[in-house]
Amino acid sequence: MTKSELIDLIARRQHQLPHKDIELAVNLIIETLSEALAQDDRIEVRGFGSFTLHHRQPRIGRNPKTGESVALNRKSVPHFKPGKELKESIDASRERVPLVG
Amino acid sequence: MTITKAELSQTLADTLGLNKRESKEIVEDFFGQIGEILQTGEDVKLSGFGNFELRDKSPRPGRNPRTGEDVPITARRVVTFKPGQKLRALVDQHQGV
């Protein structure tokens, strides 16, 4: 499922609102989440899960092809930890439905 | 600082002029529907943000790290988040050296 399909799904549930408003709202949610992570703020959604940054220390890496050493900067990567409710409901769906990708 | 659903719906209300109830419902639906789709076995791909991907894990032998006791880990379905290029770049630009 893509973002535009998710927008359609929410728009059908919120049929009193113009489709355009749902589109703006979903984009704004994504933008707000992204900016929060960029500031290293934590996002916590009860039942769904939390987003945080994981920080990787600077390290000396190696070019696997040439064996040459390369200095790698400190790096931060977004990380999602599913909440208890989401985790359990997804696990429970395994017996019911196959993965469709 | 921690961002929650309350902050998100406040942002929607302030920026888009939606009322409190509308903003709250859209935020609830956003996370709720992602969860619903995942429960149908389908991945969710949010361009510019990232993908929520499902994986089925086979059972494997495990161990209780405290007691050293062998405990089998059952088969399970899990969700992982793969941040997209745009989000990675945005985060790195702020946090990188």
pLDDT tens-digit readout, B19-43: 999 999 999 999 999 999 999 999 9
The CA distance from B53 to the nearest CA of chain A, in Å, is 8
- Tokens (6 digits) for B52: 């929520």
pTM summary value: 0.90
Per-residue pLDDT of B56-97, as tens digits, reads: 999 999 999 999 999 999 999 999 999 999 999 999 887 654
Q: What are phi and psi of B73, to 5 degrees?
A: -95, 120
Hey, which residues 35-64 in chain A have their CB within 8 Å of chain B? 35-48, 51, 53, 55, 58
Q: How far is A23 from chain B (nearest CA, A)?
A: 10
Q: What is the interface size between A and B, counted as CB pairs within 8 Å?
A: 183
Q: How far is A67 from chain B (nearest CA, A)?
A: 25
Q: Are A29 and A59 in contact (CB under 8 A)?
A: no
